[in-house]
Amino acid sequence: MESVRQQIEMLRRQLHEHNYNYYVLSQPTISDFEFDRLMRQLMDLETAYPEYHDPNSPSVRVGSDVNNNFIQVTHRFPMLSLQNTYSEGEVADFYNRVKRALNEEFEIVCELKFDGTSISLVYEHGRLTRAVTRGDGRKGDDVTANVRTIRNVPLVLNGNDVPPYIEVRGEILMPWSSFDALNKERAEQEEPLFANPRNAASGTLKMQDSRVVASRKLESCVYSLLGDDLPARSHFDNMTLARKWGLNVSDAMRRCSTPEEVFDYLKEWDIARKNLPVITDGVVLKVDSLIQQRNLGATSKFPRWSIAFKFNAEQAVTRLESVSYQVGRTGAVTPVANLDPVLLSGTTVKRASLYNEDAVLALDLHIGDMVYVEKGGEIIPKITGVDKEARFLLGDKVAFTRKCPDCGTPLVRNEDEAAYYCPNSEGCPTQIKGRIEHFVTRKAMNIAIGPETVNLLYDKGLIRDAANLYQLRFEELAGLERWGETSANNLLESIEQSKSVPYERVLYALGVRFVGETVAQKLAQAFPGIDQLAQATVEQLVAVDEIGERIAQSVTAYFADPLYCDFVRRLRQNGLQFTLSEEALAAKSDKLKGLTIVISGTFELHSRDEYKVMILQNGGKNSGSVSKNTDYILAGENMGPAKLEKALKLGVKVIDEQTFLEMLQ
């Protein structure tokens, strides 16, 4: 047994070292394959010998599906905010205030202000024991399990000079690459997009499933050490030691002796930040000496020894080369600007969204224009303006295409819509493949194939719509290039499992225009079988809560089309669920009829999605915001403070999940 324990500890040491080399130093010394082999060996031993469990084992990086109910923790050292400045004049004022107050020589440390979610990491005897969010500055949420999945947060610090107790302050960040990938996935699932990487990082850190947290590839960057026994009296020197211990400290940190050096730093990084893989919105200036920091003290809100200088919103200027057009699964045609490559927010931008014809006309775009590009929550950046004074040898004015770029069909535009559509839904390859890709997504039928496989199967003539998936044969799949028996069996098994997907998700998977996930749930509750829905009139559909005229007309048009009716018929023949389950029918009631309920916070007994379904099943209405029409707020842990404040102001009753469940009994 002793030899097993020694082997486990040796593997842990090796993996900690390789994590540090890869995620902090960016200098891996072994291949990914070899790293995975060592990790699997460790996890097998830990499973076989649970008595050697260690919460800081490298194996916790993969996360767990254990539900984490966050508890509030009081910060030993309050997490104060910083006063923001926006000009060199304000920075000079800060420098002069410090100079007058100290009346002695001092140095300023400049470091980049990364735009993430603040975190406090507690290390005792070199081991991570707790990770707490900023919260209100006095108390925050314990998110230790989630932070342990972040690869460049060391679970065990290196070195013999680490104090027995130390708090490390920093930011949890989502790199632009991870943010773009996450929003792309959410767009495909028709889920709301995150507005920016900061919101995405914050939302991820508060998730209940640490496996999902691990998959989103968050990073950390630390900027401060706190404790009673710090090794140095200089902030800069302490952070240099922190880097040696294995913590991720920005290489951009610089110690400055004069105001001119500070201003040089600000100018340098206002340009250089465009190369960074993470978002930064400014520079933090700190007096370097910890003794001088204590002498300067703090106001009730801000330390007097530090300020934040905020950059202007980042944008780039580049030339418009051409405009191309993309076709979506519903036939909507979207213009995309093709640009001279330009660096923006850590990535090279070559394309930008133009949304629709109205947006193109409002910009008065011409080929060759110098355009302003910004990167916000969009999957691809957007053009926000044109430098008309820079026009020279101007090209043609951009005119919106009148034909489908894929199949050449003349486009149509409804009077009340901004988008143009290709009406050739059954003959336009991009639309056909787009509908199949939607059908197989996780929130629809959850069939384990991506766009590349859909393209392959379509190009090989094996599928022409989603119903053809259920006729695929093993021999056809195993014979495809780079496929084999395992890949073929996996796909066929996934297709077979999709036959148990409930009715409301099948309805969503059909891809009826304007019928998203929530609308599909409402329609399934109102019309428990597909035959009832197919025979429903516009008037009957509009009578369903939140189903408007546009959605109703889209649904009736879908089931009036013989091609779509045949598509549904073939899916039914293959065993898909087109009625509500007996369990769902049994749960239907009018107990919440006429009630509007807002869900906020995290829950122990059921997930937020499960509560949303319960509200619909019992005749209630889900709402995302509090208003005078809200009847109840179903509140869990960490309820949004803005919602609580508005609820109290409007007199909306706040109930917990136990009370809500009792209402349904």
Predicted confidence (pLDDT) per residue in 345-375, tens digit: 777 889 998 988 998 999 999 999 999 998 7
Please give the pLDDT value at position 376: 60
- As a whole number, mean pLDDT of residues 532-550 equals 89
Distance CA 321, CA 338 (A): 6
pLDDT-above-90 percentage for the chain:
52
Beta bridge partners of 353: 336, 382
Same domain, 137 and 251: yes
The CATH number given to whatever domain includes residue 149 is 3.30.470.30
DSSP states along 334-369: EEEEEEEEEEETTEEEEEEE--SHHHHHHHT-BTT-
240-246-251-254 Cα dihedral, nearest 10 degrees? -20
Per-residue tokens: 115: 């735009």
Please give the pLDDT value at position 156: 94
Same domain, 123 and 176: yes
Of the residues 390, 409, 444, the one at which a domain ends: 390
Report DSSP state, residue 445.
Answer: T
Of the residues 272, 289, 310, the one at which a domain ends: 310
661 within 8 A of 647, measured Cβ to Cβ: no
Looking at the domain assignment, is residue 67 inside a domain?
no
Same domain, 185 and 207: yes
Q: Is pLDDT at 453 greater than 90 in this prediction?
A: yes
Q: Is pLDDT at 565 greater than 90 in this prediction?
A: yes
**Residue bearing the bigger pLDDT, 640 or 448:** 448
pLDDT-above-70 percentage for the chain:
95
Beta bridge partners of 621: 596
Q: Is 272 helix (H, G, I), strand (E, B) or coil?
A: helix
Looking at the domain assignment, is residue 285 inside a domain?
yes
Looking at the domain assignment, is residue 420 inside a domain?
no
Q: Beta-carbon neighbour count of residue 8 at 10 Å?
A: 20
Under the banding of pLDDT at 50, 70 and 90, the label for residue 25 is: low
Number of domain units in the chain: 6
Under the banding of pLDDT at 50, 70 and 90, the label for residue 7 is: confident
Positions marked active-site:
113
CA distances to 54, 79, 101, 489 from 295, rounded to whole Å, are 42, 18, 9, 70
**Residue bearing the bigger pLDDT, 492 or 185:** 492
**50-67 tens-digit pLDDT:** 888 888 888 776 554 444
The greatest distance separating any two alpha carbons of the chain, rounded to the nearest whole angstrom, comes to: 86
Distance CA 637, CA 653 (A): 16
448 within 8 A of 487, measured Cβ to Cβ: no
The rounded mean pLDDT for the chain is 88
Same domain, 205 and 273: yes
CA distances to 247, 270, 272, 280 from 277, rounded to whole Å, are 18, 15, 11, 9
Under the banding of pLDDT at 50, 70 and 90, the label for residue 26 is: low
Under the banding of pLDDT at 50, 70 and 90, the label for residue 110 is: very high
Q: Is 655 helix (H, G, I), strand (E, B) or coil?
A: strand
Please give the pLDDT value at position 644: 78
Same domain, 334 and 475: no
Tell me which range, 403-412, 624-633, 634-643, is most confidently predicted by mean pLDDT: 403-412
635 within 8 A of 102, measured Cβ to Cβ: no
Same domain, 363 and 452: no
Q: Is 414 helix (H, G, I), strand (E, B) or coil?
A: coil
The CATH number given to whatever domain includes residue 639 is 3.40.50.10190
Looking at the domain assignment, is residue 404 inside a domain?
no
Looking at the domain assignment, is residue 261 inside a domain?
yes
Q: Which of 33-37, 192-196, 406-410, 471-475 has the lowest mean pLDDT?
A: 33-37
The CATH number given to whatever domain includes residue 354 is 2.40.50.140
Q: Is pLDDT at 314 greater than 80 in this prediction?
A: no
Under the banding of pLDDT at 50, 70 and 90, the label for residue 267 is: very high
Q: Which 3-state string (H, E, C) describes 438-457?
A: HHCCCCCCCCCCCHHHHHHH
CA atoms within 13 Å, Cβ hemisphere of 203: 12
Distance CA 419, CA 512 (A): 17
Q: Which of 260, 292, 335, 9 is nearest to 110 (CA)?
A: 260
Looking at the domain assignment, is residue 606 inside a domain?
yes
- As a whole number, mean pLDDT of residues 429-434 equals 94
Q: Where are the alpha helices (DSSP H) in 590-640?
A: 608-617
Same domain, 38 and 125: no
Looking at the domain assignment, is residue 415 inside a domain?
no
Q: Is pLDDT at 190 greater than 60 in this prediction?
A: no
**Residue numbers of the domain that contains 652:** 589-664
Distance CA 210, CA 630 (A): 32
Q: Is pLDDT at 638 greater than 70 in this prediction?
A: no
Of the residues 277, 310, 343, the one at which a domain ends: 310
Q: Where are the alpha helices (DSSP H) in 143-209?
A: 144-147, 176-188, 197-205
Same domain, 148 and 264: yes
Looking at the domain assignment, is residue 417 inside a domain?
no
Q: Is pLDDT at 123 greater than 90 in this prediction?
A: yes
Under the banding of pLDDT at 50, 70 and 90, the label for residue 593 is: confident
Same domain, 113 and 250: yes
Per-residue tokens: 134: 């900023």
Please give the pLDDT value at position 378: 59
Same domain, 470 and 581: no
Same domain, 300 and 320: no
The CATH number given to whatever domain includes residue 489 is 1.10.150.20
552: burial class by Cβ within 10 Å (0-12, 13-18, 19+)? buried
Please give the pLDDT value at position 65: 40
Residue 404 backbone dihedrals phi, psi, to 5 degrees: -65, 125
Amino acid at 354: L
Residue 441 backbone dihedrals phi, psi, to 5 degrees: -65, 165
Q: Is pLDDT at 88 greater than 60 in this prediction?
A: yes
**Residue bearing the bigger pLDDT, 312 or 36:** 312
Indicate the pairing of strand 382-386 with strand 370-374: antiparallel
Per-residue tokens: 272: 């250089």
Distance CA 83, CA 302 (A): 6
**Residue bearing the bigger pLDDT, 573 or 137:** 573
Same domain, 177 and 246: yes
- As a whole number, mean pLDDT of residues 206-235 equals 91
Q: Is pLDDT at 546 greater than 80 in this prediction?
A: no
Q: Is pLDDT at 560 greater than 70 in this prediction?
A: yes
348 within 8 A of 398, measured Cβ to Cβ: no
